[in-house]
Structure 1
Amino acid sequence: MQFVPFEDGIEVKGQTVKAVVDGFNTFVVLGSAYLLDEGIGTPARNGLVNLELEGWYPQKSWLLCLQQIGKQLGDGLLMQSGMAVPRNVALPEGIHDIHSAIKAVDVSYHLNHRKNGRPMFDLETGRMQEGIGHYGYEPVPGQRKIICLCETPHPCAFDHGVLTAMAQRYEVHARVVHDEKQPCRKRRGDRCTYVITW
């Protein structure tokens, strides 16, 4: 299901939150207003939001912001915001092709969230905390295809954007398609399935 945190007390790094502003392109004041309406960041004189990029914000507020954007402006802006995430967030090392990029999405997702004051992925130990769901990675043998099951509280259009940006960073002509035959968080499912081809 979309927009509902899996656990209380989860926080999102400011770099990830900034993707909302970037997703609005030239309408950054509007993107800023959505964040400010949910108590994320502080207002600047020019109408933009001040965000601490290394700071942390409540996931619940972040999801409410995405929900309002989707309700009032539609999936297009949610997808654009998702596409801005890989430009803003910390990514693990060792990404060199589309396979390592899609595999790294789940690690990056956990690096940019924290629980009980600690990032949900420890780069030194490789340990991942549960509580925010996952981005799956399932390569199809012998084909230029990856199946990605997304079990996150994000809207499906947002995750579609995240996966599209990551895939196209390493394969310019990569295509990400939401599998409409599978469960969907928009239809109260617990996950969405995306098929990535190139």
Structure 2
Amino acid sequence: MKAFDFSDTSVCVSRSGIAPLLAAFGAYQARGERVIKRHLGVEDLHTGGDGLYPVPRFLEAIRELQEQFGPSFIHRMGVLVFEKSTFPPGLDSAAKVLASLDHAFHMNHPNARGKLGGYHWTSASDGRGSMVCDTPYPCSLDAGILEGVLAHFSTRASVSHDEAKPCRAKGGESCTYLVEW
């Protein structure tokens, strides 16, 4: 699906899915939180309600932040998301984490299965593979998330956009990343 192109307000992102993005803002957290709260129509992201927010509203906040700070800032947020996220025990390798990203994505978007796209990992060999992302989030965020995962396990890791495939930043329905570590 195209970046930011999602209108089903019944599909939600959880508070726990937003928290790592906020933490990744670092010194700009208060500013990022203001933008996100305004788009979600809440006064406090940390308490109250069921902790579920409509994805289209959250996407509008991400779009505004990308317009204010640029794709490189959103990319940096993605890099830090892995560092700020909680993953279950046993995910002790890049291959295991990459294979579990779709599951983690849907845990943070509890009613989105079949509606919001996902992360589709294909292992090509030991230390190599490709990830197809077809969520409505910007490719700068996804590339950053992948780089953050790999940086945790290897200093020689690389993530590159497969230029022969579509790109959501250019109106495509998905992005394909070639991953190596």
TM-score interval for Structure 1 and Structure 2 normalised by the shorter chain? 0.7 to 0.9
Which moved further from structure 2: 59-68 or 22-31?
A: 22-31
Which structure is higher in helix share? 2
Q: 1:7 to 1:90 in 2, by over 3 A?
A: farther
- 1:158 paired with 2:141, answer yes
Q: 1:181 to 1:40 in 2, by over 3 A?
A: farther
Larger RCO (alpha carbons 8 Å, 6+ apart): 2
CA deviations 1:56-81 (Å, max 9, x no partner) are 11111111111111122111121122
Count of aligned pairs:
179
| 1:39-58 paired onto structure 2 within 5 Å | 39=40, 41-42=42-43, 50-52=45-47, 55-58=51-54
* 1:167 counterpart residue number: 150
* 2:127 counterpart residue number: 144
* 1:191 counterpart residue number: 174
Measure the CA separation in 1 of the matches of 2:41 and 2:76: 19
Q: 1:24 to 1:62 in 2, by over 3 A?
A: same
Q: Which runs of 5+ in 1 are unaligned?
A: 44-49, 121-128
CA contact (8 A) 2:9 2:54 kept: no
CA contact (8 A) 1:147 1:194 kept: yes
Q: 1:132 to 1:91 in 2, by over 3 A?
A: farther
Q: CA deviation at 1:24?
A: 2.0
CA deviations 1:36-66 (Å, max 9, x no partner) are 22035425xxxxxx42498211111111111
Give runs of ≥4 in structure 1 deviating > 4 Å.
Answer: none
CA contact (8 A) 2:166 2:174 kept: yes
| 1:99-138 paired onto structure 2 within 5 Å | 99-115=95-111, 129-138=113-122
Structure-1-length-normalised TM-score = 0.80
SS in structure 1 of the partner of residue 116 of structure 2: coil
Q: 1:6 to 1:183 in 2, by over 3 A?
A: farther
Measure the CA separation in 2 of the matches of 1:100 and 1:147: 14
Q: Which runs of 5+ in 2 are unaligned?
A: none
* 2:163 counterpart residue number: 180
The alignment-based identity, stated in percent, is: 23
Which moved further from structure 2: 166-175 or 89-98?
A: 89-98
Measure the CA separation in 1 of the matches of 2:89 and 2:142: 21
Structure-2-length-normalised TM-score = 0.87
CA contact (8 A) 2:23 2:84 kept: no
Which moved further from structure 2: 20-29 or 94-103?
A: 20-29
* 1:21 counterpart residue number: 22
Q: Could you tell me which amino acid in structure 1 is paired with residue 79 of structure 2?
A: M
Q: 1:40 to 1:79 in 2, by over 3 A?
A: farther
Measure the CA separation in 1 of the matches of 2:167 and 2:175: 5
